[in-house]
Amino acid sequence: MAARDTVFLLTLGLACFASSLGARVTDPMVPSIAAEFAAPVTTVALLSTSYALPYGLCQPILGPLGDTFGKSAVLKVCVALMALMIGLGAVAGSLNLLFASRVAAGIAAGGVIPLALAMLGDRFALDRRQIAIGRLMAVTLIGQIAGVTTAGVLADAAGWRVAIGVTAGIAGAAALGTVLLLPRNGPETRPRFDLGTTFGRYGIIFRNPRAYICYGGVFAEGLSIYGVLPYIAEMLRSQSAGGPSEAGFIIAGIGVGGILFSVLAGRILGTIGPFGAMRLGGVLVGLGLAGFGFAANWRVGMACFTAIGLGFFMLHSTLQNRATELAPTARGSAVALHAFFFFSGQAIAPALFGPAYHRFGAAPSLFACALAMAATGFVAAWLLHGVDRREAERAA
C-alpha cells in the first residue's frame, strides 16, 4: 500500500478509535458513576444508550450531508465537536448534565466512523476495500484495547472524571490530525442538499434486496452483544471478582478478537469465503456469550470476549463491506444507514438486557443473546448467498 494511503488509513483510524472509545468509555465505570450521583446502576447503564441512540438516529441526516458537502469536511467538524462534548462530560456537575454531554457527543460521533468507511469506499476498489476496512478497524481496535483498559484503571486510581477527560484529549488529538492530514474535498460536483433528495437516496438503497439483510444483520448484532457491556462491572462486583479495571480488560477482549481477525482475515476469507466467515462468526460469538455466563474470573471473561470479538468481526466485516456497495452513487447514505441500524440495536440493548439480567440472572440472559447471534450468522449468510445466486442466474 502506498505511503499516502497508509497515512490516510492511520488518520481515519485515530478518528474512529476516538469515536469507539467515546462510546465504550463509561461501560467499565457504571458502578463508580452510580455511587457518586447516588443513582441506580440500571439508570447509569443507559449512558451507553444516550451515546448510541442519537448516534444512530442522526445517520439519515449525516450521511447525505457527507454526500452533499463532502465526507472529509463533515468528518472533520464531527470529530472536533465530539472531542468538545466528551470533555464537557468530564466536568458535569450532575447526572443529567453527564447524560446531556453523552447525547451531544453521540450526535457528533455519528459523522465519524460511517463517513470514514464511505471515504474508504470512494478511495479503494471493491477487491481492495475489505482489506482496507480490516486495517482501519485494526488501528481503531489497537487504540480501543489500550483506551478501554486505561479507562478502567484510571477510574479505579483517579476517578471516572479523569478517565473521561483523557478520552476527550485523545479525541482532540484525532480532530487535529484530521485537519492536518486528511485531504480536502475534491472538486467533484455534489448534489444540493434537500430532504427530497435525501429520502430519494434511501429509496435507491432499499431497491437493493441486500439492504434488508445487511441492516437487519447489524441491528441483531448490536442488540445481542452490546447490552451486556454496561453490566460487566456490576457482574464482577456481585461475585467479588473485580471492578472497573477488570471490566475494562474484559471489554478489551472484543478489540483483541478484532485484531486477531485483521491478522487472519485473508486466510479466513480465502479458506471458507465470506459466507462461511459469517456462519462461523455467529457461532463463535454465541459460544463466547454463553461461556461468559459461567466465567469464574475476569481472565476467563476476557477469553470469552476475545472469542466474541473474533466472531463479531468475521460476521460484521462482511455485512459492512456489502453495505458499501448497496448504492455506489449514494455510498455515504448507505453506510450511514448501516450505522443507524447497528447503533439503534446497541441503544436498545442495555434497556432490554438489564431487566432480563436482574430477573433471570446472567447465564440465561446471555444464552438468549448467544442463540440470537448464532442464528444471525446463518440466516444472513443464507439470504445474501441466495440474492447473489439469483442475480447471477439472471445475468447468465
What is the residue-wise DSSP string for 95-159? HHHHHHHHHHHHHHHTTTHHHHHHHHHHHS-HHHHHHHHHHHHHHHHHHHHHHHHHHHHHHHHT-
pLDDT of residue 128: 73
Q: What share of the chain is helix, strand, coil (3-state, %, to 5)?
A: 85, 0, 15
Q: All 3 cell numbers of residue 62?
A: 449525516
255 near 145, Cβ under 8 Å? yes
The tens digit of pLDDT for each residue in 275-304 reads 999 999 999 999 999 999 998 789 999 999
User: Distance between CA atoms of 252 and 303, rounded to whole angstroms?
Assistant: 10
Nearest to 196 by CA among 46, 56, 8, 68: 68
pLDDT over threshold 80, residue 393: yes
User: Would you say residue 38 has pLDDT above 90?
Assistant: yes
Please state whether the predicted TM-score (pTM) of the whole model is above 0.85: no
Q: Is residue 347 part of a domain?
A: yes
State the residue for C-alpha cell 462461511: 276
Convert the pLDDT of each residue in 141-169 to its tens digit.
776 677 677 777 888 888 899 989 999 99
Distances (CA, A) of 29 to 82, 92, 191, 317, 337: 20, 15, 44, 29, 30
Is the per-residue pLDDT at 187 higher than 50? no
pLDDT, position 325: 81
Residue 158, pLDDT score:
86
Structure confidence at residue 378 (pLDDT): 97
Name the DSSP class of 29.
G
Distance CA 59, CA 47 (A): 19
Residue 396, in any domain of the structure: no
pLDDT tens-digit series, residues 326-362:
887 777 778 778 888 998 898 899 989 999 999 999 9
- CA 150 distance to own-chain centroid: 19
Report percent pLDDT > 90 for the chain.
Answer: 43
What is the pLDDT at residue 193? 55
Is the pLDDT score of 231 beyond 80?
A: yes
110 occurs within a structural domain: yes
Residues 6+ apart with CB under 8 A from 1: 9
**Residue 131 counted as domain residue:** yes
Rounded to the nearest integer, the mean pLDDT of the chain is: 86
**Total domains in the fold of the chain:** 1
Collect all residues with Cβ–Cβ distance below 8 Å to 79 and sequence separation of at least 6: 15, 18, 19, 108, 112, 171, 174, 175, 178
Per-residue model confidence (pLDDT) at position 126: 65
Residue 293 DSSP code: T
pLDDT band at 127 (very low <50, low <70, confident <90, very high): low
Query: Is the residue at 83 inside a domain?
Result: yes
Whether 173 is covered by a domain: the verdict is yes
Q: Which range marks the domain in which residue 157 is found? A: 3-180+205-390
* Residue 266, domain CATH: 1.20.1250.20
**Of 380, 377, 385, whose CA–CA distance to 283 is shortest?**
377
| pLDDT score for 188 | 47
